[in-house]
C-alpha cells in the first residue's frame, strides 16, 4: 500500500483512510495482540515488533513513522478492548459471557478476560468516546492542514481549529462549536486590525478560550507530533531575543578569551621557570668544571714540587 507522509511522519492523502483501516485490523487481531494484557505497555515487545514488521512489509511506511503507527495501533487496541468489555461482560453472568466467542480472539482469551473483569473490585466508569462521522474523524488533522495550504488559507492553529469544527458551508457543526467560534471572533475583534493576523496573538486567543494543551499533545496536529517538535525546546525567561543573544555571545567570547589568556600566561610562566632552571644548571656545570680544572692544576703543581725536592735531596 502506497501512502503519502508529511514531515511529521503522519499518513495523509487519498490512502490515509485505507491505511488507518489496515492498522485497525492489526489492532483487533487477538492472535497477534492478545487482549489479556492489562495495559498496552505490558505487551511483550516481540509482539509489537512483529506488528511493525507487518506494517513495513505491506506498506511503504518509513522507519521514522514507527512511533506514530504503533501509537495508533495502541489506541485502537485499547478502544477495541473497551468495546469488548461492554459487549461481552457488562451486566452478564459468566456463562452468558462465554456463550458467544468473538472470532477475533480465542476461547481461552475470553475466559481470562471474563475472569479478570469479574475480579475487578471496582468497575471503572469511563465514558466511551464514540467515533462520529464528522470530518474531524474522517479527515486527519494533517490532511485538513494540507488542504488548507493548497487552498491558500492560513494554517495557524486557530484557523485550523475553526476549520475542523465547521462544515463544508463554513457553518459551525454544533452549538458548542458555534459558542467557541463566537468567542474566538469576539477576542479577535478586540485586537487592533494590524494584530489580528499575528500568529502569536491568535495562538494566545486559542489558549485563553480553551485553556492549556494536554501534556505531550499539540492542538490541530493530531497524533504524533510533540510540543518540542512543533515549537522547539521551551525557553524560560528571559526570552532569547536578538539583544539577549548578542549579549550572551559577547559574554561567552569574553569568558573564553580570559580563559585562554590565563592559560597562555601560565604556560609562559612555566617556560620562563624552565629556562631559569636550565641556565642555573648550565652555570653549575661550568662552575664545577672550573673547580675541577683548578684542583687538577694544583695537584699537578704539588706533584712537580715534590719530585723536584726529591731530586735535590738525592744530590
Task: Report domain extents, the chain.
Answer: 4-130, 137-231
Dump pLDDT digits (tens) for 91-120: 667 777 777 777 777 777 878 777 777 765
Q: Which residue has the cell 492523502?
A: 13
- Structure confidence by residue, pLDDT tens digits, 205-230: 877 777 665 555 555 555 555 555 55
pLDDT digits (tens, 9 = 90+) for 75-92: 999 998 888 877 777 666
Residue 294 has pLDDT above 70, yes or no: no
- Of 246 and 32, more confident: 32
At 156 the three-state DSSP class reads coil
Cell reading at 221: 496536529
Task: Note every long-range contact of 194-198, with CB atoms under 8 Å and residues 24 or more positions apart, other chains counting.
Answer: 197/154
Report the C-alpha dihedral over residues 56, 59, 62, 64, rounded to 10 degrees: -70
**pLDDT at residue 315 is higher than 80:** no
Q: What angle do CA 8, 45, 137 make, to 5 degrees?
A: 40
What distance in Å separates the CA atoms of residue 55 and residue 22, rounded to the nearest whole number? 9
Q: Provide the β-strand partners of residue 5.
A: 11
Is residue 285 over pLDDT 80? no
Local confidence band at 50 (pLDDT 50, 70, 90 cut-offs): very high
Alpha helices in the chain (DSSP H): 16-27, 45-58, 66-88, 94-99, 107-118, 135-138, 141-150, 157-164, 175-189, 199-210, 227-231, 242-314
Q: Tell me the pLDDT of the chain averaged across its residues.
A: 74
Residue 100 backbone class (left: φ over 0; alpha: ψ -120 to 50; beta: rest) = beta
Residues 148 and 114: their CA atoms lie apart, in Å, by: 47
Amino acid at each position: 500500500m502506497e501512502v503519502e507522509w508529511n514531515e511529521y511522519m503522519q499518513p495523509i492523502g487519498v490512502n490515509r483512510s485505507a491505511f488507518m483501516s489496515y492498522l485497525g485490523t492489526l489492532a483487533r487481531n487477538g492472535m497477534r495482540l492478545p487482549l489479556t494484557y492489562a495495559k498496552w505497555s505490558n505487551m511483550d515487545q516481540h509482539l509489537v515488533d512483529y506488528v511493525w514488521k507487518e506494517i513495513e512489509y505491506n506498506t511503504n511506511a518509513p522507519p521514522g513513522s514507527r512511533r506514530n503507527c504503533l501509537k495508533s495501533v495502541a489506541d485502537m487496541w485499547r478502544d477495541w478492548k473497551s468495546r469488548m468489555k461492554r459487549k461481552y461482560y457488562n451486566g452478564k453472568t459468566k456463562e452468558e459471557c462465554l456463550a458467544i466467542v468473538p472470532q477475533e480472539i480465542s476461547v481461552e482469551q475470553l475466559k481470562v478476560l471474563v475472569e479478570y473483569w469479574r475480579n475487578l473490585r471496582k468497575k471503572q466508569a469511563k465514558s466511551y468516546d464514540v467515533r462520529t462521522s464528522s470530518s474531524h474523524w474522517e479527515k486527519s488533522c494533517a490532511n485538513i492542514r494540507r488542504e488548507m495550504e493548497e487552498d491558500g488559507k492560513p494554517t495557524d492553529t486557530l484557523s485550523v481549529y475553526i476549520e475542523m469544527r465547521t462544515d463544508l458551508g463554513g457553518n459551525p457543526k454544533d452549538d458548542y462549536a458555534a459558542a467557541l467560534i463566537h468567542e474566538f471572533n469576539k477576542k479577535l475583534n478586540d485586537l487592533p486590525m494590524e494584530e489580528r493576523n499575528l500568529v502569536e496573538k491568535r495562538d494566545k486567543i486559542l489558549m485563553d478560550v480553551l485553556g492549556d494543551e494536554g501534556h505531550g499533545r499539540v492542538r490541530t496536529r493530531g497524533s504524533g507530533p510533540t510540543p518540542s517538535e512543533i515549537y522547539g525546546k521551551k525557553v524560560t525567561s528571559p526570552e532569547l531575543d536578538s539583544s539577549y543573544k548578542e549579549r550572551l555571545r559577547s559574554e561567552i567570547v569574553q569568558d573564553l578569551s580570559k580563559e585562554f589568556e590565563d592559560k597562555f600566561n601560565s604556560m609562559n610562566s612555566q617556560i620562563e621557570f624552565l629556562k631559569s632552571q636550565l641556565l642555573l644548571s648550565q652555570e653549575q656545570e661550568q662552575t664545577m668544571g672550573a673547580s675541577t680544572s683548578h684542583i687538577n692544576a694544583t695537584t699537578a703543581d704539588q706533584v712537580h714540587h715534590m719530585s723536584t725536592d726529591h731530586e735535590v735531596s738525592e744530590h
